[in-house]
Structure 1
């Protein structure tokens, strides 16, 4: 089971690590997009969310307080769904559909992050192939 969880962690965080790098290396373009969506302080928000994505992704990947890493990713995903993918604000049908798809992806991934938080917090040190145990305990 340990190897399956490790493979799952690796595959799960690829999206977040790639996005985090994009937030930091393309901060100007991404903050412009965030500004167009009405995000306050778009440049610091873009850089901060990039750091959040990388910290959470690396934490889950390496198993260093993976429960905290999953929580950090959830903290990114839920506000992002509401702020960046507010499909209910779109009047164009195609744009509305694309934002709806992205909204529900972010919500679903956030739910997965909450499950990982619970999983790592509950399994504790019984789950192998991690560098540390969990930060939280829900037993």
Structure 2
């Protein structure tokens, strides 16, 4: 079971590590897009969110307070869905559909990260982790 959870953690964080690195290496382009979506202080927001994603993903991957890492990912995903993928504001049908898919993806990932938080904070023996959970939901 420990190996299955580890494989799941690896598969889950691949998306976040790639996205976080893009935030940190393609900051200018991402900040331009974020600014076009109305994000205040877009460059700073891109950098902070990039660090948040990478740190959260590494915590989940390595099992270093993985429950906290999962919460960091939720803290990134929920606001991102609302700020960056506000499909209800779009007038063009194709753009609305694209943004709705992105919104739903972010919300689904936030839900999965929230479930991971609960899992990590509830299970006593996580196996194949560096630390135990920071929180306890017993």
User: Across the two proteins, how many residue pairs are aligned to each other?
Assistant: 138
Distance between the aligned counterparts of 2:109 and 2:11, measured in 1? 13
Matched residue, 1:133 = 132
Aligned pairs for 1:1-139 within 5 A: 1-124=1-124, 126-139=125-138
- Note the C-alpha offset of 1:123: 0.6
- 1:24-72 deviation per Cα after TM superposition (whole angstroms, max 9, x unaligned): 0000000000000000110000000000000000000000000000000
Unaligned runs of 5+ in 2: none
- Note the C-alpha offset of 1:127: 1.1
TM-score when scaled to structure 2?
A: 0.99
Unaligned runs of 5+ in 1: none
TM-score when scaled to structure 1?
A: 0.99
Runs of 4 or more consecutive aligned structure 1 residues displaced over 4 Å after TM superposition: none
Distance between the aligned counterparts of 2:66 and 2:126, measured in 1? 11
Match of 2:64, SS?
Answer: coil
